[in-house]
Amino acid sequence: MEFKHDPVPFIFEKGDSFTKLCVLEMVDLWKSALGKELLLDLLKTQKKDGGFPSAIDLKLSGVKETGRAANLLLRCKMPKDGLALASCMKFLLKHQTQDGGFPENPKLTIPAQMTELSNQKGVTWLTADMVDLLRLMGQENTKACQKAINWLRRMELPEGGWGAVEEDEEVDPDSSAQVTFLMKDLLGGEDTLYKRGAALFEEHLDQMAQNAEQGFYYLTGERRENEVYHLTHLLGQSIFTGKRGADAGYRIRDKRVKKILEGIVEIQTEDGGFRPYWSKQSDPLYTGIVLKIFLWVGAMKKKEIKSAIEKVVVQTA
């Protein structure tokens, strides 16, 4: 499958160090001269409290951003017992609630429109990210990791699936997908939590394919045009964590997945990027997420993306 415009030049012209390093890492170019430079740039942004700047307020550390930065540092083979990762983990674990969930940094003021995030209540998809990170760190048997897993199990809604934030009464498709495939990793394909979540995922995938094909969707009764945030998060929760949906068989051979990818291509802007609903301009990070999803589901090969990157920016070491 081809894009209307090559997204790689846009990412490396407009993206920050984190976004560009994410894209290099996904095709094994983080060891290049540029990759090493970007890694140093990223480390320079780590704050005294061990966290990384929040996109909401760059003066404060974000739990979301710190977890994702730590995940990337691990993928770039930074030592687990080194100062950078040890400081990240200290910051993150300080924010785990008594019952096991992870909210965002309470010092941040969460914008009202960001209903998927809370600094007072545990956030399901964020807690799933933390479980991923703890497992990558070799800390899957720690009290913190087990508390987070048990909290996620308790957060399953009565009809199955998960909301985005503790006490949500409705399933959030993206958050539910994230936790569902984590439960498969942890508990196996016969686990009842996974089976209920997977059945809901099938329904959500059907609906998303329909939205992608028709070019719009409805949110609380209001018609909205398709945009990159809506079309990407069900297939690939983020650029930072594992490709569980693809690993579970949801690849381009699935007609619904193909329709969603076609819908994503349709909304690409002339600069090569993709624009989320809250921005008037294309966003490099979300453009990178699109690229990674296309790789995960088999719509592009690693060597194709690697070649495109090398043509633009990278002289491999």
* Digit-coded pLDDT (tens) for 279-294: 999 999 999 999 999 9
How confident is the model over 157-188, as pLDDT tens digits? 999 999 999 999 999 999 999 999 999 999 99
Right CATH for 8-312 from 3.40.50.300, 1.50.10.20, 1.10.10.10, 3.10.20.30? 1.50.10.20
Angle separating helix axes 63-75 and 33-44, nearest 10 degrees:
150
Give the C-alpha distances (Å, rounded to integers) separating 280 from 139, 195, 225, 273, 276. 41, 39, 14, 12, 8
User: CA 17, 20, 24 angle in degrees (round to 5)?
Assistant: 130
pLDDT in tens, the chain (317 residues): 899 999 999 999 999 999 999 999 999 999 999 999 999 999 999 999 999 999 999 999 999 999 999 999 999 999 999 999 999 999 999 999 999 999 999 999 999 888 899 999 999 999 999 999 999 999 999 999 999 999 999 999 999 999 999 999 999 999 999 999 999 999 999 999 999 999 999 999 999 999 999 999 998 889 999 999 999 988 876 666 666 776 777 889 999 999 999 999 999 999 999 999 889 999 999 999 999 999 999 999 999 999 999 999 865 44
CA separation for the pair 21, 9 (Å, rounded): 14
Q: Is 271 exposed, middle or buried (0-12, 13-18, 19+ CB in 10 A)?
A: middle
pTM beyond 0.85, yes or no: yes
User: CA 55, 59, 63 angle in degrees (round to 5)?
Assistant: 50
Instruction: Look at residues 101, 99, 102, 116 and name the one whose alpha carbon lies nearest to residue 56.
Output: 116
Q: Which helix (H) or strand (E) holds 292?
A: helix 284-296
